[in-house]
């Protein structure tokens, strides 16, 4: 082939699309490989089939030998039975009767050669004759003694002759099957030899196809990609690209685009330089943040206007100085190194603490140090941003002092309430004592005097209740509440509460309902305090239920808690007042109603008592009226799976 036609053919190949080239490069060796694999598959299948024939021939010889062995053992056993009349000699005969049908069936399936099958059919006849003879002999030997010995000897002689016939038939089957086996082994050897030759031919053809594919791939793709790689390296170094021939496939178009990309990148590099310059100017002029960079060892390499304003150093004074100069003496030896190490490991490190200005004064700073890495992940240095947080620090300190003052004031208030309540009890006890003496002798007084005595006693008891509530609240706030936690049976506790509260509800003219759960369990609570909480809830329900007709007391059993529920069908509580329910001295406007007495401490005290027993007190609006839930923990014996039926019945 001359040079011109060769160049023309190469150009034709070069201009083809990469999909076509890839198809040719891949399909050529792949087609050869698939053809070789198919040939190998056919050869392998033939070899496997020939090997199966060999294994089947061996199985036939083994089974024919087993037929003869079973019949020989059976004949020997029958002979022993005839001579001794002992049943144990019949074991080989019984085994032969069991195994022979399966063995003959396997032979019938395995024998395919027509010559061997003819001998096998004769073997089937003599085996059947032998089995019949053995069966007859066993029957004769087992019959009454009227059978003559001559008959038995003739039967044994016939059995021996039929066994010889079986032996000769087996030998004939094995001889003909051996001939078939020899032919099959020769066939296996021939197939294996052909398989090896075919493998060698396939390997040579595959190698030639691979060489052809590699040549086509190299001429059409590899050399041109190498040129593109060379141009890409020049593009990365900013050098002028090598001119490539005009070609119309994907690589040629890629070369053109790479040339255009080179021009575009040079333009963008100019824009990037200008943008970096503008960013540098912006950073230098930021005043509220100190932004500067450090090298890998922590030496200052840049300095902006904000850093100068916050720290006091100018760029000339601080550049090439270690940034530990900004730290006070107590942290200078360890904290700068720790910050850099954290930034290296985590990418960034943040800290708040005291820093030092040029004039030696301290300021509270928020500092963020960020590790700067290149595209390969190599550490290039650090960026450090500092913000003066002194004003926020002063605000936080003022807030902390105010909080401490509030806590101290609350503690003083608690102490004042406690001391005042104790001081008021002494004269109040005297007033109540003299009032009780007057009540004893009230028959001696006029009716208006008796009414005055009753008012004195009523006011004294009300004041005593207020003082007791104040003492309880002050004790809870001071952490001195006496709480004795013990197991309290739920059913018994509800019955006791019902007995105590029934007069209160009855005096309000309301019906009092009691729901006791069917499940028997106990709660962990202070019995006296828990009674005080529930009685207060029942008293409130009776006191404020001015439009309903009933109050209900019940309990709901949950996973590990029990809720004692007090519910009424009165007017309920306005949604706007619910957030103030448990606020001390807040009666939610009821103080304007002269008929309803109260101090506004009941719910606040009840909630505190419930929490002191590791429980809680909550309110929820019922369909009509109000519902309060006092929750406490079950005792260890009472904790378990929820009782849904009881919970739904009492909720």
Distances (CA, A) of 20 to 12, 95, 248, 593: 12, 73, 13, 99
User: Would you tell me how many other CB atoms lie within 10 Å of the CB of residue 470?
Assistant: 21
Q: Are residues 384 and 400 in the same domain?
A: no
Determine, yes or no, domain membership for 238.
Answer: no
Tens-place pLDDT, residues 123-138 = 778 788 877 877 877 7
Residue 109 belongs to domain with CATH number: 1.20.120.1730
Residues with Cβ within 8 Å of residue 425, at least 6 apart in sequence: 464, 467
Same domain for 428 and 530, yes or no, is: no
Rounded CA separation 590/586 (Å): 9
Query: Which pLDDT score, from 0 to 100, does residue 585 have?
Result: 57
Please report which residue ranges of 111-148 form alpha helices under DSSP H: 114-142
Contact (Cβ atoms closer than 8 angstroms) between residue 495 and residue 532: no
Backbone phi, then psi, for 621, in 5-degree steps?
Answer: -75, 130
CATH number at residue 619: 3.30.565.10
Q: What is the model's pLDDT at position 633?
A: 94
- Domain annotation covers residue 412: yes
Q: Do 470 and 492 lie in a common domain?
A: no
How far is Cα 303 from Cα 320, in angstroms, rounded to an integer?
11
Report the predicted TM-score, pTM, of the whole model to 2 decimal places: 0.36
What φ, ψ does residue 548 adopt, rounded to 5°?
Answer: -105, -165
CB distance 560 to 639 below 8 Å? yes
* Statement to judge: residues 374 and 409 lie in one domain: no
pLDDT at 342 over 70: yes
Quote the CA–CA distance of 134 and 74 in Å, as a whole number. Answer: 8
319 in the same domain as 219: no
pLDDT 10s digits, 259-310: 767 667 766 766 666 555 555 555 545 556 778 889 988 999 988 888 888 8
DSSP collapsed to 3 states, 551-579? EEEEEEECCCEEEEEEEECCCCCCHHHHH
> Which helix (DSSP H) or strand (DSSP E) does residue 385 occupy?
strand 379-388
Domain boundary among 388, 418, 446: 388
Residue 42 sits in the same domain as residue 182: yes
- What is the average pLDDT across 393-420? 70
Distances (CA, A) of 221 to 14, 31, 375, 489, 594: 8, 21, 30, 90, 103
Residues 26 and 152 in one domain: yes
Which of 504, 614, 495, 603 minimizes the C-alpha distance to 554? 495
Average pLDDT on 424-449 reads: 67
Domain of 402 in residue numbering reads as 395-475
What CA–CA distance (Å, rounded) separates 226 from 106? 69
The enclosing H or E element of 312 equals none
Which residue pairs, CB below 8 angstroms and at least 24 apart, start in 346-355?
A: 347/371, 352/389, 354/328, 355/311, 355/326, 355/327, 355/328, 355/386
Residue 412: which CATH number? 1.10.287
Same-domain check for residues 491 and 522: yes
From residue 383, alpha-carbon distances to 16, 325, 352, 355, 373 in Å are: 53, 16, 16, 17, 11
Q: Which of 354, 388, 422 is the last residue of a domain?
A: 388
CA-to-CA distance for 63 and 111, rounded, in angstroms?
A: 11
What whole-number distance in Å separates Cα of residue 428 and Cα of residue 434? Answer: 10
Please, what is the average pLDDT of the chain?
75
- 383 with 439, same domain: the answer is no
How much is the pLDDT for 456? 73
pLDDT bin (cut points 50, 70, 90) of residue 97 is: confident
448 and 339 in a common domain: no
pLDDT digits (tens, 9 = 90+) for 175-212: 777 777 777 677 767 776 776 776 777 777 767 766 76
Where is 298: in which H helix or E strand?
A: none
Q: What pLDDT was estimated at residue 565?
A: 94
The number of residues making up the chain comes to 651
Contact assessment for residue 387 and residue 292, using Cβ atoms and an 8 Å cutoff: no
The answer on 307 and 198 residing in a single domain is no
Distance CA 581, CA 575 (A): 10
Domain-located, residue 263: no
Q: Are residues 83 and 203 in the same domain?
A: yes
DSSP characters over 102-118 = HHHHHHHHH---HHHHH
Inform me whether the pLDDT recorded for 148 exceeds 80: no
Tell me which of 11-15, 211-215, 544-548 is least confident.
Answer: 11-15
Residue 229 lies in a domain: no
Residue 116 predicted with pLDDT over 80: no
d(CA 345, CA 296) in angstroms, rounded, equals: 13
- How many independent structural domains does the chain possess? 4
Each residue of 564-608: pLDDT tens digit? Answer: 999 999 888 878 787 777 776 555 555 444 455 555 566 877 888
- Which of 340 and 19 is assigned the larger pLDDT? 340
Cα 141 to Cα 83, 138, 149, 154, 458: the distances in Å are 9, 5, 9, 12, 124
């Amino acid at each position: 082939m001359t040079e011109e036609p060769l160049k023309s053919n190469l150009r034709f190949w070069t201009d083809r699309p990469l999909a076509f080239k890839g198809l040719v490069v891949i399909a050529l060796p792949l087609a050869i490989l698939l053809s070789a694999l198919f040939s190998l598959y056919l050869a392998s299948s033939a070899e496997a089939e020939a090997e199966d024939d060999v294994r089947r021939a061996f199985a036939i010889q083994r089974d024919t030998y087993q037929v003869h062995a079973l019949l020989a053992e059976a004949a020997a056993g029958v002979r022993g039975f005839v001579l001794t009349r002992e049943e144990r000699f019949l074991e080989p005969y019984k085994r032969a009767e069991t195994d022979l049908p399966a063995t003959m069936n396997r032979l019938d399936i395995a024998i395919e050669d027509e010559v061997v099958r003819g001998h096998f059919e004769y073997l089937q006849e003599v085996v059947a004759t032998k089995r019949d003879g053995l069966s007859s002999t066993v029957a004769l030997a087992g019959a009454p003694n009227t059978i003559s010995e001559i008959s038995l000897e003739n039967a044994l002689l016939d059995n021996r002759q039929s066994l010889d016939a079986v032996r000769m038939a087996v030998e004939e089957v094995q001889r003909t099957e051996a001939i078939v086996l020899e032919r099959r082994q020769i066939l296996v050897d021939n197939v294996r030899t052909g398989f090896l030759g075919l493998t060698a031919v396939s390997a040579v053809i595959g190698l030639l196809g691979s060489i052809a594919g590699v040549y086509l791939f190299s001429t059409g793709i590899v050399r041109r990609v190498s040129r593109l790689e060379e141009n890409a390296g020049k593009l990365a170094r900013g050098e002028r690209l090598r001119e490539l021939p005009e070609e119309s496939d994907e690589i040629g178009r890629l070369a053109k685009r790479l040339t255009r990309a080179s021009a575009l990148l040079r333009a963008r590099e100019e824009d990037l330089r200008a943008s970096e310059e503008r960013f540098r100017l912006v950073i230098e002029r930021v005043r509220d943040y100190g932004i500067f960079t450090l090298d890998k060892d922590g030496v200052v390499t840049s300095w902006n206007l904000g850093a100068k304003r916050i720290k006091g150093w100018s760029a000339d004074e601080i550049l090439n100085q270690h940034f530990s100069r900004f730290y006070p003496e107590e942290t200078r030896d360890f904290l700068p190194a720790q910050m850099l190490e954290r930034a290296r490991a985590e990418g960034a490190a943040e800290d708040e603490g005291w820093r030092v200005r040029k004039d030696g004064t301290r300021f509270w700073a928020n500092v963020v140090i960020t590790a700067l890495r290149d595209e390969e992940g190599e550490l290039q240095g650090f960026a450090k941003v500092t913000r003066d947080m002194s004003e926020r620090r002063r605000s936080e300190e003022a807030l902390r002092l105010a909080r401490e003052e509030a806590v101290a004031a609350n503690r003083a208030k608690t102490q004042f309430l406690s001391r005042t309540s104790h001081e008021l009890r002494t004269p109040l006890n005297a007033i109540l004592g003299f009032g009780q003496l007057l009540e004893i002798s009230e028959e001696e007084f006029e009716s208006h005097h008796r009414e005055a005595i009753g008012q004195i006693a009523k006011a004294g008891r009300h004041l005593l209740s207020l003082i007791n509530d104040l003492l309880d609240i002050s004790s809870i706030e001071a952490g001195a509440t006496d709480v004795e936690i013990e197991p309290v049976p739920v059913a018994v506790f509800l019955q006791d509460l019902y007995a105590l509260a029934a007069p209160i509800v009855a005096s309000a003219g309301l019906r009092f309902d009691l729901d006791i759960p069917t499940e028997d369990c106990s709660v962990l609570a202070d019995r006296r305090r828990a009674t005080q909480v529930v009685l207060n809830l029942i008293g409130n329900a009776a006191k404020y239920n001015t439009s309903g007709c009933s109050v209900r007391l019940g309990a709901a059993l949950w996973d590990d808690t029990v809720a004692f529920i007090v519910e009424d069908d009165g007017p309920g509580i306005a949604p706007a007042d619910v957030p103030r329910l448990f606020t001390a001295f807040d009666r939610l406007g009821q103080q304007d109603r002269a008929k309803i007495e109260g101090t506004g401490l009941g719910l606040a005290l009840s909630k505190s008592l419930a929490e002191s027993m590791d429980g809680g007190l909550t309110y929820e609006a019922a369909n009509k009226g109000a519902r309060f839930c006092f929750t406490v923990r079950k005792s260890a014996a009472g904790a378990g799976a929820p009782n849904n039926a009881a919970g739904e019945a009492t909720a």
